[in-house]
Amino acid sequence: MDASRRQQYLDAMGITRYVMREPAATGYPRDAVESGVVAPASLPESGRPAAADISELQPDWAALKTRVASCTACELHASRTRTVFGTGDESAQLMIVGEAPGAEEDRQGEPFVGRAGQLLNAMLHAIGLAREAVYITNILKCRPPGNRNPTAEEAAKCRPFLMQQLSLVKPKVMLAVGGVAAHNLLETDEAVGRLRNRIHYYGEDCTPLLVTYHPAYLLRRPEEKAKVWQDLQKLYGILHGD
């Protein structure tokens, strides 16, 4: 992507000045203190959730989509219009995880649509990625009534589906957007502001995971967009490192 087009996307995010740092030549930065890396061994057990049991799920996309569409494991199935499975490149290097479908997502059956989705698209374009080149999903596949946060039980019921999506995509890095996604993936109640700007590791394969603010939050607090650009720079470095 040329510099002028990238600047257009940054303008759409409300960021007009930036410095792109080169990715580390050896992949992850050598200086873990400077880069904010959190090594897997240094994470508490609560920061490295055990993989859910997915032994009963079929190991292919078609079967998994059918299973999700017919799921009645929690009460959310009674109020949903449709399930919101996920969208994008099923072998993407980047997997984005949000919280749960909203009203428009429930109607369309696709995550991150509307104004928040448009801002997410601009965030991706700012580091040279099209929406179609990443895989996007949520902690929950059904909309909670009134757009409330998912309960712990609902998230637990949906976790096997998310784990199977992760095992099928096999991304190079994950991005958790918003507190609900970060708290469920990392099993912590730390604020997003404390979780961001670090590299966490998720699942049995220790997939690098970054945390950033949700686009809907940025629409309410545009002054936080500069911090998100820092997170996107770190994400760019991982994607383009060795």
CA-wise closest residue to 97 among 43, 159, 154, 145: 159
pTM exceeds cut of 0.85: no
Chain mean position to CA 98: 5
Q: Residue 14 has what pLDDT? A: 56
Average pLDDT, integer, range 24-30: 36
In this predicted model, what pLDDT tens digit does every residue of 164-203 receive, in sequence order? 999 999 999 999 999 999 999 999 999 999 999 999 999 9
Chain mean position to CA 15: 21
The answer to whether 128 and 6 have CB atoms below 8 angstroms apart is: yes
Q: Residue 147 has what pLDDT? A: 86
**CA-to-CA distance for 59 and 61, rounded, in angstroms?**
7
**CA-to-CA distance for 139 and 80, rounded, in angstroms?**
15
**CA-to-CA distance for 92 and 135, rounded, in angstroms?**
6
Chain mean pLDDT for the chain: 83
**CA-to-CA distance for 242 and 240, rounded, in angstroms?**
7
In this predicted model, what pLDDT tens digit does every residue of 44-89 receive, in sequence order? 444 433 333 444 555 699 999 999 999 999 999 999 999 999 999 9
Average pLDDT, integer, range 10-16: 56
Q: Residue 4 has what pLDDT? A: 62
The answer to whether 97 and 52 have CB atoms below 8 angstroms apart is: no
Rounded-to-5 percentages of helix, strand, coil across the chain = 45, 10, 40
Q: Which domains does the chain have, with CATH numbers?
A: 3-24+37-240 (3.40.470.10)
